[in-house]
Amino acid sequence: MRQMKDSGIKWIGYIPQEWSLERSQWHLEEVNVSNNPIQTDRILSLTNKLGVIPYEDKGNQGNKSKENIFEYKLAYPNTIVANSMNILIGSVGLCNYFGCVSPVYYIFKAKKDENIKFLNYVFQTVGFQRELRKFANGILEIRLKVSSSDILKRFIPYPQAYEQQKIVLFLDKECEKIDELKADIQSQIDTLEQYKRSVITEAVTHGLNLDAPMKDSGIDYIDKIKADWKISKIGFVCAKLARGFSEDDPALICSNNGSVMPRDEQRACGKMVSEDNAMQGIRVGDIAIHGMDTWHGAIGFSKIRGKITRVVHVCDSTEDKRFIVYYLKSLAYQGVYKLISNGVRGNTSDFRSWDKVKDIYICLPNTVEEEKQICDYLDNIIESADKIIVDKKAQLDTLDDYKKSLIYEYVTGKKEVV
């Protein structure tokens, strides 16, 4: 059995007797090269799950990249890229590309003959990231920033070069296996999400009888609909509400998955919209339509009472309100809101004005009874699919935890590569 010694640093704990504790700055140095004059227009993005990737591979997520890329800084292959704020929650990774990154990122390169992959694995440990929190500055919890100097001054466990290489080869292999399992599970989740979307879209335009005759809707963004259905507008079937609220009402959000839920502390700190003049009341059974995140599907049916930002339209309807929500979400799935929006940002649809929302066309069954049948059917389908998705996401969390634990145990020498 290996002889171990106390490192004296809480997050590291015991390390092998022959290992040393060394500051990151002895092995890494910051690279801070401006993209002015412009040397590349390839924008890179740093994600918690995927590491450093080209911005176009990120999909339509997060903030739109800047057009003024001369304000960015250059990143290079075989460097570590870290978000000055989000490194505390894991936004750090190895870069395999030449490109430019946001000015809030740090780029670190290895000094001569150093193993950049081993150093990156150390930076991936939760303990190291939590240690940085002690040196972070900022007023808001989600806007804490740590300096590059404070990152580089931290002590890390440091074995001999040959053992670093053994650890890197082992972790590369094991992490690849874990990532393959995660990719497979994520693919299953994506398939289920797409299934939910297709079932909803089919049901709110064709009904439950697939053999029923159809007709053209006459609306550009609505395909054929059931022949005995009618076309109306949201403004004719929904009424915008102006509800009051009490100080004790909890602050809620309408999330991108359509859930109206209590706002977590991080979001509350980051958005600072809990002031009374920025809120409105919402009650059980109200429809919530987010005026900016509509295209994400941030449209929900509230099951709780509280207060919510005025950016959200709180509505009532004489129709089955579940049907209204399902239908409006189906338009989001088809990208309709982007087509009829005048938003200036790439990741929002601008429906903050009720005048614009009320002009959205909707197809409706002739009876509320048929609406109820469709909604009951969809409720059962979605509930069953969501239960499976919850289980799949729990599997992903378990694999994430295992991967983090594996990295920690080997980069601190608690387990030895044999």
Instruction: Give the residue, 403 or 49, on which the prediction is more confident.
Output: 403
Q: What is the mean pLDDT of residues 163-192?
A: 97
Looking at residue 265, what is its pLDDT? 42
Q: Mean pLDDT for the chain?
A: 90
pLDDT at 3: 96
Report the pLDDT value the prediction gives residue 370, as an integer from 0 to 100: 97
Q: Cα angle at 308 between 305 and 313, to 5 degrees? A: 105
User: What's the pLDDT tens digit per position in 248-305?
Assistant: 999 999 998 888 999 864 344 444 445 667 899 999 999 999 998 898 899 999 999 9
State how far Cα 272 lies from the chain centre. 20
Kindly report, residue by residue over 229-239, the tens digit of the pLDDT: 999 999 999 99
Residue 37 pLDDT greater than 50, yes or no: yes
How far is it, in rounded angstroms, from Cα 31 to Cα 85? 18
Per-residue pLDDT tens digits for 313-348: 999 999 999 999 999 999 999 999 888 876 544 455
* Of 89 and 160, more confident: 160
Q: What is the helix (H) or strand (E) element at residue 398, kind and residue range?
A: helix 368-411
Q: What is the pLDDT of residue 268?
A: 42
Structural contact between residues 412 and 15, judged by C-beta atoms closer than 8 angstroms: yes
Residue 218 is encoded by which pair of tokens? Answer: 């006459």
Determine the pLDDT at residue 288.
Answer: 96
Helix (H, G, I), strand (E, B) or coil at 23: strand
β-pairing verdict for 238-240 and 251-254:
unpaired
Band the pLDDT of 349: cuts 50, 70, 90: low
401 CB contacts (<8 Å, ≥6 apart)? none
- The first and second tokens of residue 309, run together, are 């930002």
CB 282 within 8 A of CB 300: no
